[in-house]
Amino acid sequence: MSDPSPPPPSSPDLTGRRLGDFQLLRKLGQGGMGQVYLAKQLSLKRQVAVKILRDDHADNPTSRARFQAEAEAVARISHPNIVQVYAVGEDDGIRYMALEYVDGRTLRDHLDRKGPPDLPVAVAILRQVAAALQQAAELGLVHRDIKPENILVTRKVQVKVTDFGLSRYVAGDGQPLSLTQSGMTVGTPLYMAPEQVQGKAVDHRTDLYSLGVTAYHLLAGFPPFTGATAFDVAVKHVQQEPEPLALVRPDLPPELCRIVHRLMAKNPADRYATAKEVSRELAGVLKGLSAGGGTGGPLSLNVTLTGATVSGVSLGASSAPGTLTAVPREPGRWPWRVAGVAAVLAAFAGGWWAFGRASQPDTTPTASAGPGLPELKLPTPLMSARETALRDQWRTLPPHTRPQLEAGLALALLCLSERRLDDAERVFAEMNTPPPRPVKPGEYPLPVSAAVLAKFGRAVVLAHRDQAEESVKLFADAIAAIPKKDQQWLAVEKLCFTYPEFGHAIGAAVNRDAENLPKGTSLPTTVARLRNPAALLSGPK
């Protein structure tokens, strides 16, 4: 394995500095090429993102030319899914570019912190990226570095493609016009098309391949190829086929899996001819989901109620390694195909956290959104049919029976996935109300009582509200409320295994609590074990 590259030299913090018409307010990020600041454009009194070229790059003619080329490239495009360039300039030797400020996070950040989003959200994101690529292609622009880090997503699931720093124009005769030498490989190996790896000519279909790899990562929770070095990954893009997405995610619509694999065809001629075709086919998938034909996410809570199956919404439960050197599990082996309870729960509630913490900041114009990541959700109409069905079951089935409580759990998880915390808390609170009559033995063989289930659920809600101390106390109370002390951990483990989506939510909530506890405060031993539910299998220590 080759030695890691040395980190880029640090640049001074320019917060408070004025560059031309722009007052720098605070730093948003830093990466290999420079820094990005939130700034105020004084003449128009609006917020912008200002990208500053690092000092050593500013002295390099090629870097300066690329910086200018990026500004000129994006300035030619006016599209709602592409970050706009407002100005480029130089002030006292500092080369800068003013960009549209996007109040959101990168798709990579979301994957690292939360795992794959709900399926309709994922498809909506991919459609918007395809629309951006179509507009770029019509102007003869090839991005060459489509990846989750260069896709910004707002709370309302508006997508903005950014960072055209590696882009090149293709002239009318198909010949590339580029600042790089012929045969030079440029891009990110995890998402790089075979023709890029081999230094061959690129065109708009190169971006479609990278879109396919990004789609695979978005849906599976990890990219199709990983390796110990960049070279290992690059070779796999040329020589190997990814594991079929349908095996990784059996719950996905077959049509969506077909679209992703066609995008990742090794031969550009076998891919889609245009991004417009991709967008049209994704629209068909999205229409099917809105009509109730899709699933909620990586692990949906499927509950059979009075002869009908109702699918809950996943909170996103896969790990995303994100780095070339970290391979947490064999790619493509969806957890229930691997090794039983321990592998399932470790992958869903433990592994994603560690790898998400290791990601490096990027020089993209994103907002600092405080603790956690803004949840992604679609407008209500796509979710209304599923929610209506769950609410009907929750209200009409006999109270405190297993089907009724399972419908309530699915409904609460749906509300959590949409950040409707008050609604989720109301459902959990209603679970905790006394039953209208004594519950007969075996009437609903849940792993824990309704009261304990409600405590765990309300603790998850409190964690999402960043009320860490209250959440931790309630988690401890929930464990203590299980009657037989020697059976407590077995009951909690069974709960997480029976409802893996809820188990993931518990693990993610405790990890969030650990981040938000006051400095010097640690999780109680009992609650800390919930960070990785697989540890429950070993019993109390």
Residue 456, in any domain of the structure: yes
Alpha carbons 290 and 212: distance in angstroms, whole number = 23
Q: Average of pLDDT values for 94-106?
A: 90
Name the band, by pLDDT with cuts 50, 70 and 90, for residue 464. confident
In this structure, are 152 and 245 located in the same domain?
Answer: yes
In this structure, are 115 and 85 located in the same domain?
Answer: no
The per-residue pLDDT for 207 is: 95
In this structure, are 117 and 176 located in the same domain?
Answer: yes
Residue 84, in any domain of the structure: yes
Residue 57, in any domain of the structure: yes
In this structure, are 119 and 78 located in the same domain?
Answer: no
In this structure, are 472 and 499 located in the same domain?
Answer: yes
Residue 2, in any domain of the structure: no
Name the band, by pLDDT with cuts 50, 70 and 90, for residue 477. very high
Exposed, middle or buried, 316 (CB in 10 Å: 0-12/13-18/19+)?
Answer: buried
Q: Average of pLDDT values for 132-158?
A: 90
The one-letter amino acid code at 149 reads: E
Alpha carbons 541 and 537: distance in angstroms, whole number = 11
Q: Could you say which of 100, 121, 150 is where a domain stops?
A: 100
Q: Average of pLDDT values for 306-325?
A: 29
Residue 213, in any domain of the structure: yes
pLDDT tens string 175-208 = 333 333 333 344 568 899 999 888 888 899 999 9
Whole-angstrom CA distances from 366 to 89, 150, 264, 462 are 21, 10, 28, 27
Count of domains in the chain? 3
Residue 41 corresponds to which tokens in the numbers above?
């454009």
Residues tagged active-site: 145
In this structure, are 69 and 202 located in the same domain?
Answer: no
The segment with the largest mean pLDDT, out of 146-150, 305-309, 345-349, is 146-150
Q: What angle do CA 62, 66, 67 make, to 5 degrees?
A: 115
Alpha carbons 532 and 509: distance in angstroms, whole number = 11
How many percent of the chain have pLDDT more than 90? 28
Q: Could you say which of 85, 100, 115 is where a domain stops?
A: 100
Task: Note down the domain range covering 449.
Answer: 381-538
Q: Could you say which of 279, 295, 311 is where a domain stops?
A: 295
The per-residue pLDDT for 143 is: 87
Q: What is the pTM of this model?
A: 0.55
The per-residue pLDDT for 129 is: 96
pLDDT tens string 271-307 = 999 999 999 999 999 888 876 544 443 333 333 333 2
CATH of the domain at 86: 3.30.200.20
In this structure, are 170 and 276 located in the same domain?
Answer: yes
The per-residue pLDDT for 306 is: 30
CATH of the domain at 207: 1.10.510.10
In this structure, are 276 and 415 located in the same domain?
Answer: no
pLDDT tens string 200-259 = 888 999 999 999 999 999 999 889 998 777 788 888 999 999 999 999 898 899 999 999
In this structure, are 284 and 207 located in the same domain?
Answer: yes
Residue 216, in any domain of the structure: yes
In this structure, are 531 and 496 located in the same domain?
Answer: yes
Q: Over the chain, what is the mean pLDDT? A: 74
Which has the minimum average pLDDT: 13-27, 60-74, 203-217?
60-74
The segment with the largest mean pLDDT, out of 14-18, 360-364, 417-421, is 14-18
On the question of pLDDT at 330 being above 80, the answer is no
Residue 3, in any domain of the structure: no
In this structure, are 114 and 64 located in the same domain?
Answer: no
Residue 70, in any domain of the structure: yes
In this structure, are 78 and 156 located in the same domain?
Answer: no
Q: What angle do CA 147, 114, 104 make, to 5 degrees?
A: 60
On the question of pLDDT at 331 being above 60, the answer is no
How many percent of the chain have pLDDT more than 70? 70
Burial call 421-458: b when 16+ CB within 10 Å, e when fewer: eebbbebbeebeeeeeeeeeeeebebbbbbebbbbbbb
Alpha carbons 463 and 478: distance in angstroms, whole number = 14
